[in-house]
Amino acid sequence: MNKKQQEHAVQPETTPPTTPSNPTLAVLGFRRQIVYHLHFWSLVAVAPLVMIQWNQGHRLLAGLLLLFCVNAVTVIALLRWRRTYFLQGRLFPLLAVTCAVYSTAINGHAGLYWAYPAIAGGFFLLPLREATISNIVFVMAMAVISFLKFPEADFWRITFSLGLTGVFVMVFAWLVGRLQRELTLLATTDPLTGCLNRSQLSDILNRHIQMRERYERVSSLVLLDLDYFKSINDRWGHSTGDQVLQQVAGRLRKRLRESDRLFRIGGEEFMLVLPETRLRDADELARQLLATISATPFGDGITVTASAGIAEVQQGETWSVWLNRADQALYSAKNQGRNRLVVAGRTGVEPIAGDVAGDSAGKPAGNSASDSVSNSLSGPC
Ligand SMILES: Nc1nc2c(ncn2[C@@H]2O[C@H](COP(=O)(O)OP(=O)(O)OP(=O)(O)O)[C@@H](O)[C@H]2O)c(=O)[nH]1
């Protein structure tokens, strides 16, 4: 195993995950925790009220509160044992708002106090737009009830304090949501090229493995590595190397479909996951991509070539075996002189014989660094 293969060596898939390695899963976990805690603490606060309202003869309100508690218990149980919940937590705000409005109508101020946590809960459970609209309707309903039930001065206080609470929580929920999205983006993409990084690699490859197992849908994997990239850095400097990497990513992206996934999985190594793509089509695409990279110089004449290894997902294999087969094919392409592609065989040990050579296979194998890097990069790329 060479140095690069060691770097790519994938961890055994049986290692139990302690913390989520996938940032999207981490965010999902964060959201589940919010849902869990909101339901748990609301249950603690609301459960005694069922009895209180029942004893006071408010049977309908007691029934609504009981429904609220049943929903909370169900969501808590589902989250605990199934790691999922239903209706995206929508029943909580719906019941909370209904109880608060009705309780204010029959209990006056005693019911009004529950309107404040009900507003906050909505913003943490519903999508922002949905929470904003439903809370505007809620504040309006509370304003009408306050107008009918309380003195005018109270009506204004209630309406403005509820409105202000809504605005504060909305701004907070919006900032948290933005922060989540930005953190997810930062954690899942490579800042230099904008490609996906390795964080979601296993998830995405696993999805394609499942598609193969369940529905016989075939995906292919292309590992693409720039040749002699070190010499670009050595000769033109790291920032020029960075520009080349950015442009390579741009050229690859231009040629790919929406559904294809482009990763940068190492310094100068990219990985393409091609859904619904058989080996023959992946081979054709990879040839075009290698040509896209080598045909036009970068900047003012830096010519770069690339090598690629391709593997179609096989029935019964794991994602790491699939990736390793593509990796071995890439290794083979490098060994055979670079600037070419090799298609992995079914077992991954031996590449398919004769299925070798990129578009520019006529070029002398083993392009020297000075062949690949011929001119200076001047001006913006
Ligand atoms: N500019 C730049 N260089 C990088 C980055 N990441 C890795 N590299 C460089 O990429 C080079 C990779 O060198 P090697 O692993 O020897 O590979 P190579 O020179 O392309 O040779 P072959 O792959 O065998 O054809 C090293 O010089 C790294 O410093 C990056 O983000 N920016």
Q: What's 51-106 look like in SS3?
A: HHHHHCCCHHHHHHHHHHHHHHHHHHHHHHHHCCCCHHHCHHHHHHHHHHHHHHHH
Decide whether any atom of ligand 1 lies within 6 Å of the 8 Cβ.
no
Closest CA to 29 of 83, 100, 75, 102: 83
Residue nearest to atom 31 of ligand 1 (CA): 267
CA 8 to ligand 1 centroid distance, Å = 14
**CA dist., res. 44 & res. 222, Å (int):** 54
Residue in the structure block whose two tokens are 């190594």? 269
15 found inside a domain:
no
- Position 103 in a domain: yes
Q: Among candidates 299, 281, 194, which has minimal Cα distance to 244?
A: 299
CA of 358 to the centre of ligand 1 (A): 21
202 and 134 together in one domain: no
Which of 131, 166, 188 is the last residue in one of the domains? 188
Domain boundary among 188, 213, 243: 188
CATH number of the domain residue 333 falls in: 3.30.70.270
Distance (Å, whole) CA 307 – CA 282: 14
CB of 233 sitting under 6 A from ligand 1: yes
Determine if ligand 1 sits within 6 Å of the CB of residue 282. no
pLDDT at position 270: 97
Q: Which runs of E-coded beta strand occur in 82-206?
A: none
Side-chain-side CA neighbours of 284 within 13 Å: the count stands at: 4
Q: Please tell me the predicted confidence (pLDDT) of residue 367.
A: 35
Are 34 and 174 members of one domain? yes
Q: Is 190 in the pocket of ligand 1 (CB under 6 A)?
A: no
**Same-domain check for residues 149 and 230:** no
Domains of the chain: total: 2
Quick check: is 364 in a domain?
Answer: yes
- Please indicate, yes or no, whether residues 127 and 60 belong to a single structural domain of this protein: yes
Q: Are residues 120 and 81 in the same domain?
A: yes
Cβ within 8 Å of residue 355, ≥6 positions away: 283, 342, 343
If asked whether residues 169 and 252 sit together in one domain, one would say: no
Are 271 and 218 in contact by the 8 Å Cβ rule? The answer is: no
Q: Are residues 184 and 204 in the same domain?
A: no
Beta carbon of 192 within 6 Å of any ligand 1 atom: yes
* Cα-Cα end-to-end distance for the chain: 36
- In angstroms, the CA 27 to CA 32 distance is 9
CA 267 to ligand 1 center in whole angstroms:
5
Dihedrals φ, ψ of 344, to 5°? -70, 140
Whole-number pLDDT of residue 5: 55
Beta strands in the chain (DSSP E): 220-226, 261-264, 269-274, 306-312, 341-343
Query: Do 175 and 204 share a domain, yes or no?
Result: no
Axis crossing angle, helix 91-107 with helix 128-149, rounded to the nearest 10 = 10
Q: Are residues 357 and 270 in the same domain?
A: yes
* Angle, alpha carbons 166-116-136 (nearest 5°): 40
Q: Is residue 17 included in any domain, yes or no?
A: no
Give domain status of residue 5, yes or no.
Answer: no
In whole angstroms, what is the distance from residue 92 CA to residue 39 CA? 8
d(CA 33, CA 30): 5
Greatest C-alpha distance within the chain: 92
- The 10 Å Cβ neighbour count of residue 283 is 20
Model pTM score = 0.70
123 located within any domain: yes
Cβ-contact 273, 312 below 8 angstroms: no
Cβ of 331 closer than 6 Å to ligand 1, yes or no, is no
Q: Return the number of other C-beta atoms located less than 10 Å from residue 110's C-beta.
A: 12
Is 105 within the bounds of a domain? yes
Residues 180 and 284 grouped into a single domain: no
At residue 82, the pLDDT reads 85
- How many angstroms separate the alpha carbon of residue 268 from the centre of ligand 1? 5
Q: Are residues 118 and 208 in the same domain?
A: no
- Do residue 156 and residue 217 come from a single domain? no
Say what the ipTM of the complex is.
0.94
Contacts (Cβ under 8 Å, ≥6 apart) of 338: 227, 228, 305, 307, 365, 366, 367
Expressed as residue numbers, the domain containing 202 is 198-372
Residuewise pLDDT in 10s, the chain (381 residues)? 555 555 555 444 444 445 556 777 777 778 888 899 999 999 999 999 999 999 999 999 999 999 999 999 999 999 888 878 778 788 999 999 999 999 999 999 999 999 999 999 999 889 999 999 999 999 999 999 999 999 999 999 999 999 999 999 999 999 988 998 898 899 899 999 999 999 889 889 999 999 998 888 999 999 999 999 999 999 999 999 999 999 999 999 999 999 999 999 989 999 999 999 999 999 999 999 999 999 999 987 899 999 999 999 999 899 999 999 999 999 999 999 999 999 998 775 454 444 334 433 333 233 333 333 333 333 322
Q: Which of 167, 188, 209 is the last residue of a domain?
A: 188
Distance 269 CA to ligand 1 centre (A): 8
Q: Which residue's CA lies nearest to atom 16 of ligand 1?
A: 230
Gap between the Cα atoms of 4 and 334, Å rounded = 11
Nearest to 321 by CA among 184, 196, 209, 192: 209
Residues with Cβ within 8 Å of 154's Cβ and at least 6 positions away in sequence, in order, are 146
Nearest ligand 1 atom to alpha carbon 3: 15
Q: Whose CA is nearest to atom 14 of ligand 1?
A: 230
In the DSSP assignment, the letter for residue 226 is E
Nearest ligand 1 atom to the CA of 238 is 1
pLDDT of residue 195: 95
**Ligand 1 in contact with 267 (CB < 6 A)?**
yes
Task: Tell whether 379 is covered by a domain.
Answer: no
